[in-house]
């Protein structure tokens, strides 16, 4: 077969080629990536895509490279499954210290390691479902015990059926017991339900893609995993309505004053509420402190856990280790990935609050590569680097992010008809363009109608300005800026110049300049 034939995702390559984004990078360092031109010279590109959030420390951070080399030279055991793994434990301990510092409290969080972001989410979801199942089983045990007690009391003549025992009184106690068993079995047949936010992104595996709001990713696969109901950002009333509509009850019996009565107890139908503190792929949209508090209030009342997905927001990008700490959002679970591997290792972790933790989970969930000796040690090193000097990295993210934001806002102010909004926090910023579906320029109009405007603009920025950025996956008119903490003022100014140019192209509908780049 001809070696030129593209077999590794050829369709994607074609789509990238349409926007001029199909370049091959030959080296990367810090915030720069390089391609090699025809004469063998390196062409530097300033990277604001930041590995979609995985490069908080930049490409190939020297400390991580040196440490990785040292580990490999020392021949540390990398695949040491089912042995003591103190490195993983140290990662968990460090993460606990950070949670307690940023969010208060001292309740321990247990850690389950995985390889990717979607996997950490799925581990959290599986754990939450195991916990839900055990809570259902405990509730059913209690019901069975109460039915037995009532049956014995009726037989002994110490209790009689209450006339209002759900109308089953006429059939005697066994009719009542049958009804309890039948209706509870029906309720048990209902699958669990997830809650998540509109615009949210939590991965593309079988389970996680059902939590991801984007229909083009989710809708082909609904039969493969549990259903999710989506809540619009900030809409507490919708959340409350969904909880009311979906909440289930189990039937139970109790003896009060010598009467056997029918009662109800809550049936935990909700597996979990999953959310990002700042939606990354959803267009860099932040959850407010007020909405976070309302979600927690509803979750407590209905007794379902909150899974905080910090896969893109976490690891310091927001100016604190956890973006949720800015809005006082405390998770029963946290998921971390991306920058946890320092841009080198693939690793992820989910953390569960002690009160909800089910140790049985450790036996039923694992992966060959999870918690391996190399990535655990690298993760520990990453945490050390981030925490050094009292969290200098977080302060840098906040300061550099503020300077970057100032420039983005200045450009937005200069092009009010072109730029809709600048959003985000720290080194996670979004720059939203107005839709161009009715644009004068046929090229911009078509790109916009096909949902490719952001990719088209990103292609222009790459070709003309050697700047790499991408739209967010589910809000394609928003360009994302997620550089590493190494970004300096020269880089920020370069971006400002490039954005002014692309905004002028859109304002002037300058097709010639746009396609000539
Ligand atoms: N959650 C969030 C918030 C993400 O941004 C992503 C990746 N963009 C994921 C989950 C999935 O992570 P991964 O691609 O490593 O599976």
Distance (Å) from CA 349 to ligand 1 centroid: 12
Task: Inform me whether the pLDDT recorded for 1 exceeds 80.
Answer: no
Q: Is the pLDDT of residue 119 over 80?
A: yes
Q: Which of 484, 124, 410, 399 is nearest to 273 (CA)?
A: 124
CA distances from 412 to 54, 357, 473, 497 (A): 27, 47, 22, 12
Pocket test for ligand 1, best of 203, 205, 309 (most atoms within 8 A of CB): 203
What pLDDT is recorded for position 4?
A: 78
**Which atom of ligand 1 lies nearest, measured to the CA of 348?**
15
Q: Residue 517, SS3?
A: coil
Distance separating alpha carbons of residues 16 and 25, to the nearest angstrom: 14
pLDDT at 171: 75
CATH number at residue 29: 3.90.1150.10
Instruction: Decide: 116 in ligand 1 pocket, CB within 6 A.
Output: yes
Please report the pLDDT score of residue 168 as a whole number: 52
Average pLDDT, integer, range 78-88: 95
In Å, how far are 24, 120, 177, 184, 206 from 168, measured between CA atoms? 73, 48, 9, 15, 44
Query: How many Å lie between the centroid of ligand 1 and the Cα of residue 234?
Result: 22
Of all protein residues, the one whose alpha carbon is nearest to atom 10 of ligand 1 is 202
Does residue 3 surpass a pLDDT of 80?
A: no
| Nearest ligand 1 atom to alpha carbon 203 | 11
pLDDT for the residue 18: 87
Mutate to test the pocket of ligand 1, among 53, 114, 201 (most ligand atoms within 8 A of CB): 201
Q: What is the DSSP string of 114-165?
A: ESSHHHHHHHHHHHHHHHHHHHHHHHHHHHHHHHHHHHHHHHHTS-EE-TTS
Q: Of 304, 336, 371, which residue constitutes the final position of a domain?
A: 371
pLDDT-derived band of residue 170, with 50, 70 and 90 as boundaries?
Answer: low
Any domain includes 292:
yes
Quick one: which of 374, 303, 318, 289 has its CA closest to 113?
374
Burial class (CB in 10 A: 0-12, 13-18, 19+), 511: middle
DSSP state of 200: -
Calpha distance 264→251 (Å, rounded): 5
Say if residues 359 and 145 touch (Cβ distance below 8 Å).
no
Q: Cα(481) to centroid of ligand 1, in Å?
A: 16
Q: What's the gap in Å between 202 CA and the centre of ligand 1?
A: 5
Burial class (CB in 10 A: 0-12, 13-18, 19+), 26: exposed
Q: First CA to last CA across the chain, in angstroms?
A: 35
335 CA to centre of ligand 1 in angstroms: 10
- For ligand 1, the distance from its centroid to the CA atom of residue 356, given in whole angstroms, is 24
Residues 95 and 171 in one domain: yes
What single DSSP character describes residue 341?
A: G
Q: What is the pLDDT of residue 274?
A: 98
Ligand 1 pocket mutation pick from 123, 196, 338, 470 by most atoms within 8 angstroms of CB: 338
Last residue of a domain, one of 336, 371, 406: 371
Eight-state DSSP code of residue 470:
-
- Mean pLDDT for the stretch of residues 493-508: 98
Assess if residue 384 is contained within a domain: no
Q: How many other C-beta atoms can be found within 10 angstroms of the C-beta atom of residue 34?
A: 17
Binding site membership of 482 for ligand 1 (Cβ less than 6 Å): no
The answer, yes or no, to whether residue 230 has pLDDT greater than 90, is: yes
Cα gap 174→451, rounded to integer Å: 62
User: Has residue 74 been placed in a domain?
Assistant: no
Closest CA to 415 of 438, 432, 439: 432
Tell me the average pLDDT across 367-377.
Answer: 97
pLDDT value of position 5: 87
Which atom of ligand 1 has the smallest separation from the CA of 205? 16
For residue 169, pLDDT beyond 60: no
By DSSP bridging, strand 285-286 and strand 306-309 are unpaired
Q: Which of 53, 54, 118, 278 to mutate to test the pocket of ligand 1 (most atoms within 8 A of CB)?
A: 118
- Total domains, the chain: 2
- Stronger pLDDT, 168 or 282, i.e. the higher one: 282
Q: Are residues 40 and 107 in the same domain?
A: no
Residue partners of 416: CB distance under 8 A and separation at least 6: none
Contact indicator for 128, 307 with CB cutoff of 8 Å: yes
Mean pLDDT to the nearest integer, 286-312: 98
pLDDT at 366: 95
Residue 327 inside a domain? The answer is yes
Round to whole Å and give the CA distance between 252 and 249. 9
Check: CB of residue 393 under 8 Å from CB of residue 136.
no
Question: Exposure of 77 by Cβ count < 10 A (0-12 exposed, 13-18 middle, 19+ buried)?
Answer: exposed
Q: Residue 358's domain spans which residues?
A: 86-371
Would you say residue 68 lies in a domain? no
Q: Is 311 in the pocket of ligand 1 (CB under 6 A)?
A: yes
For ligand 1, atom 12, name the residue with the nearest CA: 117
Distance (Å, whole) CA 500 – CA 412? 9
- Does an H or E element contain 87, and which? helix 86-103
Tell me whether residue 2 is in a domain: no
Q: Are residues 510 and 399 in the same domain?
A: yes
ipTM of this model? Answer: 0.99
| Dist CA 390 CA 381 (whole Å) | 15
Q: Assess whether 356 and 425 both reside in one domain.
A: no
Judged on CB neighbours under 10 Å (0-12, 13-18, 19+), 300 is: exposed
Distance 258 CA to ligand 1 centre (A): 57
Asked if 224 and 185 sit in the same domain, the reply is yes
- Rounded-to-integer distance, Cα 98 and Cα 108, Å: 11
Q: What is the percent of the chain where pLDDT is above 90?
A: 94
Query: 328 and 197: one domain?
Result: yes
437 located within any domain: yes
**Atom 7 in ligand 1: residue holding the nearest Cα:** 203
- Whether residue 120 contacts residue 349, with contact meaning beta carbons closer than 8 Å, is answered with yes
Whether 454 is in a domain gets the answer yes
Report the C-alpha gap between 294 and 288 in whole angstroms: 10
Are 49 and 99 within one domain? Answer: no
- Are 199 and 289 in a shared domain? yes
Are 210 and 345 within one domain? Answer: yes
3-class SS at 321? coil
Q: Indicate if ligand 1 lies below 6 Å from the C-beta of 52.
A: yes
The best mutation among 113, 202, 307, 472 to test binding of ligand 1, ranked by most ligand atoms within 8 Å of the C-beta, falls on 202
CA of 220 to the centre of ligand 1 (A): 19
Contacts of 403 (CB under 8 A, 6+ apart): 489, 492
56 and 107 together in one domain: no
451 shares a domain with 416 = yes
Q: Rounded to the nearest whole angstrom, what is the distance from the C-alpha of residue 278 to the centroid of ligand 1? A: 13
List the CATH number of the domain containing 132: 3.40.640.10
* 428 backbone dihedrals φ, ψ, rounded to 5°: -145, 85
Tens-place pLDDT, residues 424-450: 999 999 999 999 999 999 999 999 999
Question: Are 364 and 397 in the same domain?
Answer: no
Judge if the beta carbon of residue 312 lies within 6 A of ligand 1.
yes
Over residues 324-342, mean pLDDT: 98
- The average confidence (pLDDT) of the chain is 96
Distance 201 CA to ligand 1 centre (A): 7
């Amino acid at each position: 077969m001809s070696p030129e034939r593209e077999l590794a995702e050829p369709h994607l390559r074609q789509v990238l080629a349409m926007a001029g984004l199909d370049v091959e990078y030959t080296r990367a360092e810090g915030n720069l990536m390089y391609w090699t031109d025809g004469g063998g010279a390196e062409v530097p590109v300033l990277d604001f895509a930041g590995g979609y959030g995985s490069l908080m420390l930049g490409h190939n951070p020297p400390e991580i490279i040196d440490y990785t080399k040292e580990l490999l030279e020392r021949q540390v055991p990398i695949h040491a499954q089912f042995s003591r793994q103190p490195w993983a434990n140290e990662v968990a301990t460090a993460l606990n210290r950070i949670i307690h510092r940023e969010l208060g409290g001292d309740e321990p969080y247990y850690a389950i390691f995985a390889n990717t972001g979607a996997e950490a989410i799925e581990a959290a979801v599986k754990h939450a479902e195991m916990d839900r199942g055990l809570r259902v089983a405990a509730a059913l045990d209690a019901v069975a015990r109460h039915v037995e007690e009532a049956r014995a009391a009726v037989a002994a003549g110490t209790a009689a059926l209450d006339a209002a025992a759900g109308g089953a009184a006429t059939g005697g106690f066994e009719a009542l017991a049958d009804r309890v068993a039948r209706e509870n079995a029906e309720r048990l047949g209902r699958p669990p339900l997830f809650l998540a936010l509109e615009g949210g992104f939590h991965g593309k595996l079988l389970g996680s893609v059902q939590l991801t709001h984007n229909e083009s990713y989710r809708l082909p696969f609904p039969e493969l995993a549990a259903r999710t109901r989506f809540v619009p950002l900030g809409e507490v009333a919708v959340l409350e309505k969904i909880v009311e509509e979906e909440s289930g009850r189990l039937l139970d019996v109790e003896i009060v004053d010598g009467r056997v009565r029918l009662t109800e107890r809550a049936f935990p139908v909700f597996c979990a509420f999953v959310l990002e503190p700042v939606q990354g792929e959803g267009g860099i949209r932040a959850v407010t402190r007020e909405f976070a508090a309302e979600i927690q209030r509803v979750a407590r009342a209905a007794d379902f856990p909150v899974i905080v997905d910090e896969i893109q927001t976490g690891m310091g990008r927001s100016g604190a280790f956890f973006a949720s700490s800015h809005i006082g959002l405390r998770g029963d679970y946290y998921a971390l990935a991306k920058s946890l591997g320092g841009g080198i290792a693939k690793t992820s972790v989910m953390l569960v609050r002690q009160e909800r933790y089910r140790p049985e989970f450790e036996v039923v969930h694992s992966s060959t590569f999870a918690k391996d000796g190399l990535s655990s040690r690298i993760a520990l090193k990453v945490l050390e680097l981030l925490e050094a000097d009292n969290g200098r990295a977080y302060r840098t993210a906040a300061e550099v992010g503020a300077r970057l934001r100032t420039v983005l806002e200045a450009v937005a102010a200069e092009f009010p008809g072109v730029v809709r909004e600048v959003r985000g926090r720290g080194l996670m910023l979004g720059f939203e363009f107005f839709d161009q579906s009715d644009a004068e320029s046929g090229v911009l109009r078509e790109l916009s109608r096909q949902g490719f405007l952001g990719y088209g603009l990103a292609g222009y920025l790459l070709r003309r300005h050697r700047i790499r950025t991408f739209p967010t996956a589910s809000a394609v008119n928003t360009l994302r800026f997620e550089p590493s903490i190494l970004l300096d003022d020269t880089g920020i100014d370069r971006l400002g110049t490039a954005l002014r140019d692309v905004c002028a192209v859109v304002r002037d509908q300058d097709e010639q300049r746009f396609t000539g780049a």
